[in-house]
Structure 1
Amino acid sequence: MKKIGFIDYFLDEWHAEKYPGWIDSATGGEMKVAYAYGKIDKPGGLGNAEWCEKKGIELLPSIEAVIEKSDYLIVLSPDYPEYHEELSKLPLQSGKPTYIDKTFAPDRKTALLLFEWAAKSGTPMYSSSALRFASEYAGLDKEGIQTICSTGPGKFANYSIHQIEPIVALMGSDVKRVMFTGTDHSPALLIGYADGRQATVNHFGNGTSFGMIVDYATGNAKSIKIASDFFGAFIQSLVAFFETGKAVVDLADTVAIITIIEYGLKAAQTPYQWLELPDA
């Protein structure tokens, strides 16, 4: 049995709660989350020791201890990417396959730094929104896409990745500029590609489904609503990554996604004006 170690800001959060059971089920018990480290106890929630006791996972006192005892590593902190640099530095120097949860980094500079650490040490790593693996997106023809109109719930800061990740997976990473067109209540971002293609990200209230309309150069369009088990498909890809050490998402995609999010937040300060992205 291969053992997985969690490294988190605090352990009492939704991804840490769900991943152990999903991984155990997907591998028939051949991979298990066995160890965990949390930087702090969750304010107003379960402490790390209580959480680990409930889950049957061994709490360790340091990131170093988790790395030493684990075969594979998962850096979580999904809603606090500002801690990923601190939490990921040692894992990315370990040589052990490491998955870093969404959102990968708070900005482009940090994203490039994390990839640099992994490359220097030969550590297999990747990051992704689970939405990338929805079967509805996989069934779309990428050829000839001219425009995408994407919709979903949540706040832009931590949920826009769930729309931007599929857009980049379908249209590519050669994004040149962004423009904020929404409001504080309903954020929206226009994404401009080098060749003139465009995509829009639209955030609405709770109860909004993830989905998109894809318009093709042929004049045809396709409308999809995400209803598939994308988390199940993501876990299968994660298991395959641990088994093979081969990243399933191109680093150029991940850097582009983080850059779009970073500059999308900046663009919100000057709505209806294009903001140019840095060159690749």
Structure 2
Amino acid sequence: MKKIGFIDYFLDEWHAEKYPAMIEAATNGQMQVTYAYGKIDKPGGLSNNEWCAKKGIELLSSIEEVVEKSDYLIVLSPDHPEFHEELSELPLRSGKPTYIDKTFAPDRKTAQLLFGWASEHGTPMYSSSALRFAAEYEAVSREGIDTIFSFGPGKFENYSIHQIEPIVALMGSDVTRIMYTGTARFPSLLIGFADGRQATVNHFGNPTSFGTTINYASGEAKSLKIESDFFGSFIRNLVRFFETGEGGVDPAQTVAIITIIEYGLKAALSPHQWIEMPRS
């Protein structure tokens, strides 16, 4: 059995709650989350000790211990990416396959730093929104896409990645400019690519499902409602990554996604104006 270690800001959160059983089921018990570390106890929630006792996972007192004892590593903190640099440094220097949960980094500079650490130390690493692996996106042709209209729930800060990740997966990472077109309550972002193609990200109220309309240069359009088990597909991809060291996500795309989110927040301060994206 291969042992997986969790490293989190606090452990009482949705991803940490769900991943252990999903990974165990996907591997018939050949991979299990056995160790965990949390930087703080969740305010108003379970302490890390209480969470581990409930899950039957051994709580360790340091990131160093988790890295040493585990075969594979998962850095969580999905809604607090500002801690990913601190939580990921030792894993990325370890050489052990490491998955870093969404949102990968708070900004472009940190994203490049994390990939630099992984490259320097030969550590297999990737990050992704689970939405990248939705069967609906996998089934559509990427050739000839001209525009994408995407919509979904949640706040821009921590949920825009679930729309931007599939857009970049389908259209590529050569984004040159963005424009904020939404309101304070309902964010919307226009993404411009170097060749003139465009995509829009739209956040609506709850309950809203994820959906996309893809327009092709041929005049054909495809409307997708995301109903597949994308988390199951993601977990299978994660297992393959641990087995092979290959994550299947181009680092350039991950950096582009983080840059779009970072500059999207900046663009919200100057709505309806194009903001140029960094190119190096």
Look up the match of 2:160: 160
1:122-201 correspondence runs (5 A) = 122-201=122-201
Distance 1:145 1:207 in 2: 28
1:40-55 correspondence runs (5 A) = 40-55=40-55
Distance 1:247 1:186 in 2: 33
Look up the match of 1:205: 205
Distance 1:140 1:151 in 2: 17
Look up the match of 2:4: 4
1:39 to partner: Cα distance: 0.1
Look up the match of 2:231: 231
Identity over the aligned pairs, expressed in percent? 76
Equivalent position amino acid for 2:266 in 1: K
User: What are the superposed Cα offsets for residues 30-86 of structure 1, whole Å, 9 maximum, x if unpaired?
Assistant: 000000000000000000000000000000000000000000000000000000000
SS at 2:212's partner residue?
strand
Distance 1:142 1:167 in 2: 10
Q: Which runs of 4+ in 1 moved over 2 A?
A: none
Equivalent position amino acid for 1:48 in 2: N
Distance 1:141 1:125 in 2: 27
SS at 2:12's partner residue?
coil
Look up the match of 2:251: 251
1:116 to partner: Cα distance: 0.2
SS at 1:195's partner residue?
coil
Unaligned runs of 5+ in 2: none
Distance 2:30 2:200 in 1: 41
Equivalent position amino acid for 2:262 in 1: E
1:79 aligns with 2:79: yes
Look up the match of 2:22: 22
TM-score by length of 2: 1.00
Distance 1:205 1:247 in 2: 33
Q: RMSD across aligned C-alpha pairs, in angstroms? A: 0.4
Residues 237 and 247 of structure 2 are in contact (CA less than 8 Å); yes or no, is this contact kept in structure 1? no
Distance 2:177 2:225 in 1: 27
SS at 2:43's partner residue?
coil
Distance 2:60 2:101 in 1: 20
Look up the match of 2:269: 269
TM-score by length of 1: 1.00
1:207 to partner: Cα distance: 1.1
Equivalent position amino acid for 2:57 in 1: I
